[in-house]
Amino acid sequence: MAKSKKSKVAATAVAGFMVFIMIVSALASIYWGGNNNDDATAAQPTATPDTRIPLSSIGKLIDHQFDSITDGLEMSPPGAIAVRYIDAEDLDGTPLEPLKYQYLQPYETYGTNIVRSYHAEFWDGTWIELHELYPRKFNPGVFITQSPTQYNNRIVLIRNKDIVNIMGDPCIMGPRNKVEATVDVIEDKNASNSYPYFSELLLQVDHDAPYQMMAMNSPIASQYHDAMRAVNGSCERTITLIGATENTTTILNELAANTTDEIECNVTFGEGDLNLTIARITGDYDAAMGARIYEP
C-alpha cells in the first residue's frame, strides 16, 4: 500500500511539472502576444520572451563535480573505449575556439549555452554525453511533453524514441538505458565506472587542457591521450601513447622530420615505466589539428 502511495506521489509530481511547462508557455504567449493597438506598438521594439525554465524547477537534479575528463570517466558506466572533454569557456577568444563549433552540441539543444561537455563511446555501440549549462535554464519545448516518467526520483525528459535527458549539474543525454546506468554510477560511490580503464595513462598527462580525448584498443595505440591548448597565440597539441602501433610510430617520425614554418613536431620514445611515446605538435589551428597520427 505504501508503494502505491509513493507511485501516486511521483506521478503527481511529474504531472505537476508538465502542467507548469504548459502554463509557462501559455502565459508567455499571452503576455508577449499581439496587441490590437497597432499605432501605439508599431514604433516600439518587441522584446524577445525568455520562456526557458530554471533547472531548479524540475525537482531532484544530478549533482557531481565536472571539471575534467577524469570527472567524466568517474560518472561513466564501465566499458567506455573513447571519450572527449571540452571546456568551452577556456576556448573562447583563443585559436582553439573552432573546436566549440566542431564538437559541442548547438545552443538549440537546450536553448542555452553548453559550457562544458563530455562524450563517451562504449564497446557495445552506445554513448552518453554530459553537459554543464549556463545560464542554468533550458527550453522545455525541445522535449516531447507526453507521458514523462521518472528514474530514481528524477524526471526523465524525452527528446525522441531513442534519446532522453536527466537534468542537473551536469545534464546527462543519451539512450535511456545508458543514461539510467550513468545515474546509478553517480549515486553509488562504490559502483564500477570507466576511470580504471584509463587510470595509468591519466596519471601521466595534463588534466587542465580545455580539449582532451582518450581512446583504447585503436589502430593508433593500446591507449592514447590527445590534448590541445593555446600557447602564445599558437596551438600546442600533446599526444601521449601507450603501445603505439608501428604505423603510428612511422607517421610521428615523418612529422618530426618535416618541420615547417606552419608546424613543428617533437617526438620522444620510451618515456617512464609505461614506455610512453609523446608527440608535441605546435602550429596554427589548421596545421595542429590536421596533423594525422594514423593513416588507414
**Do residues 56 and 180 both lie within one domain?**
yes
CA 227 → CA 66, 208, 230, 274, 294, distances in Å? Answer: 17, 9, 11, 19, 16
221/183 same-domain check: no
Asked, for residue 154, whether it belongs to a domain, the answer is yes
Let me know whether 128 and 247 are in one domain.
no
Share of the chain above pLDDT 90, in %: 72
The three cell numbers of residue 139 are 527550453
Residues 167 and 242 in one domain: no
Confidence of residue 258 (pLDDT cuts 50, 70, 90): confident
Domain presence at residue 130 = yes
Is 164 within a domain?
A: yes
Domain-located, residue 17: no
Domain annotation covers residue 210: no
Q: Are residues 175 and 280 in the same domain?
A: no
- Asked if residue 296 belongs to a domain, the reply is no
C-alpha cell at 251: 607517421
**Is 151 found in the same domain as 70?**
yes
**136 and 261 part of one domain:** no
- For 18, the 3-state DSSP assignment is helix
The reply to whether 125 and 240 lie within a common domain is no
Q: Return d(Cα 138, Cα 53) in angstroms, integer.
A: 6
Asked whether residue 292 carries a pLDDT value surpassing 90, the answer given is no
Q: Which of 80, 86, 273 is nearest to 194 (CA)?
A: 80
122 within some domain:
yes
- pLDDT, position 44: 60
Which of 166, 187, 208 is the last residue in one of the domains?
A: 187
- Averaged over 66-92, what is the pLDDT? 97
**11 has a pLDDT exceeding 50:** no
Q: Which cell numbers hold the place of 158?
A: 524525452
For residues 65 and 180, membership in a common domain is answered with yes
Residue 47 lies in a domain: no
Domain encompassing residue 87: 52-187
User: Smallest Cα–Cα separation from 240: which of 213, 219, 258?
Assistant: 213
- Give yes or no: residues 141 and 228 share one domain: no
The domain tally of the chain equals 2
CB 84 within 8 A of CB 212: yes
Residues 137 and 254 reside in one and the same domain: no
Mean pLDDT value across the chain: 86
Task: Say if residue 83 is in the same domain as residue 124.
Answer: yes
SS3 state at 139? coil
Whole-prediction pTM value?
0.83
Q: Using one digit for the tens of pLDDT, what is the confidence trace for 184-199?
A: 999 999 999 999 999 9
Look up residue 78 and give its DSSP letter: T
Alpha helices in 145-291 (DSSP H): 176-187, 195-202, 246-257, 285-290
